[in-house]
Amino acid sequence: MFTCSLDIEIAADIDEVWLQLVNIEIYGLWSPSVMHVEVLDSASTLLSGPVKFTLNTLSGRQVRKGIVSQLSSPNLLSIHFQRAYAWWLEERWTTHLSLNDKGHTYVEMTLEYKGWMKTSAYNNEHLLTKALLEAHLLALKEKLETLANDDDTLDDFDNV
């Protein structure tokens, strides 16, 4: 098993961050890493629902199928992807949200691999996915902090 973590601080309320993360079908509207997300028709709820991600990686477009394996509002979202054979490679993206002492949302995303893969392919896969997730988190931060600044600007116009 291989694990790495990414983290970022976002100057936004934890509920705002949670709403952006849990609404996975609109990731493609704000994330440069995720082109499209489809929650498949057979899903009656998001938890344990089959999902299909079309990703924009440094090596090109990739499609990953999986399920939302954990969902706990407003602080935990875990998406579990499996490759062609379950014993071959499993990939899990787990996102934890918490408030820091400044009242900002601290987002920690863990990338975890289990299974078999050649070392060189494994390292390449890990680096590509880590870069994808870094871009995803930076886009989330930019979107939420830009929205907060736009709201402040609108408030200034209302006071004129």
The span from the CA of 37 to the CA of 59, in Å, is: 19
* pLDDT on residue 154: 45
**Per-residue pLDDT tens digits for 69-99:** 999 999 999 999 987 665 578 899 999 999 9
Specify the DSSP class assigned to residue 106.
E
CB 89 within 8 A of CB 72: no
Tokens of 153: 């600007």
For residue 109, the model assigns a pLDDT of 97
Q: Tell me, which fold does domain 2-155 have in CATH?
A: Alpha-D-Glucose-1,6-Bisphosphate; Chain A, domain 4 (3.30.530)
Cis bond before residue 50 (omega within 30° of 0): no
Domain ranges of the chain: 2-155
- The position carrying tokens 């499209």 is 36
Distance CA 96, CA 8 (A): 11
Q: What is the pLDDT of residue 46?
A: 78
Query: What pLDDT, on a 0 to 100 scale, did the predictor assign at position 40?
Result: 81
pLDDT on residue 42: 67
Q: Report which of 93, 89, 87, 86 is spatially closest to residue 112, judged by C-alpha positions.
A: 93
In one-letter notation, the amino acid at residue 132 is L
pTM greater than 0.75 (yes/no):
yes
Which residues in the chain land under pLDDT 50? 154, 157
